[in-house]
Amino acid sequence: MEPRSCPSDGAELRRVFGSFPSGVTAVCAVADGVPVGMAASSFTSVSVDPPLVSVCVQNCSTTWPRLRELPRLGLSVLAEDHDQVCISLSRKDSNRFAGVEWSELPGGGVLVQGASAWLDCSLYSELPAGDHTIVVLEVCALGADLERPPLVFHGSRFRRLAGLNSGGLE
């Protein structure tokens, strides 16, 4: 496999980036009495002390400017049956929460019901990075249901994890 030069249109770059599977998250909160949120597949843990995670947000996002001003944000790791929830939260021109079951945390963060994991966060910092912004969030509370497999995005498709009987990494 020989390295190829980076294409100028970005299509090949997105295709190659898509070969790495990622979980899918929802970042949501209540603003002016209504839920506001977006899907993000570029989620990762950053630090244990202090507890930090990150998501990457497109600079052209019209949702992030609304969310970044709120004191608390709910981050839901979407479960394998949340493919329609992800599609709904990715829409540009309609009610993103139509058909999405959600709950509000005391600080205003919003969680998707039935998520594999959830985090109640506050904005820690932002770092410009090309056509995206790396958003670092401080975790204030969290929980997980390890029996609910996460939704996986790979090769521009939603996928489900297949269990292995290996017992883990060695």
**21 pLDDT higher than 90:** no
Q: Does 117 or 163 have the greater pLDDT score?
A: 117
pLDDT digits (tens, 9 = 90+) for 37-51: 999 878 999 999 999
Omega before residue 149 within 30° of 0, cis: no
Helices and strands of the chain, counted as H and E runs: 3, 12
Pick the more confident residue, 34 or 152.
34
pLDDT, greater one: 93 or 81:
81
Q: What is the pLDDT at residue 57?
A: 94
Domains of the chain: which residue ranges?
Answer: 23-153
pLDDT in tens, 91-121: 887 789 988 999 999 999 999 999 999 999 9
CA distances from 54 to 79, 121, 135, 154 (A): 19, 10, 5, 19
Residue 7 clears pLDDT 70, i.e. is over it:
no
Quote the mean pLDDT of the chain: 87
Give me the pLDDT at residue 19, please. Answer: 58
The residues, ordered by sequence, that sit 6+ positions from 168 with a Cβ below 8 Å of its Cβ are none
Flag whether pLDDT at 166 surpasses 60.
Answer: no
Find, among 156, 115, 152, 135, the residue nearest to 22 by Cα. 152
Task: Place domain 23-153 in its CATH homologous superfamily.
Answer: Electron Transport, Fmn-binding Protein; Chain A (2.30.110.10)
Residue 170 has pLDDT above 70, yes or no: no
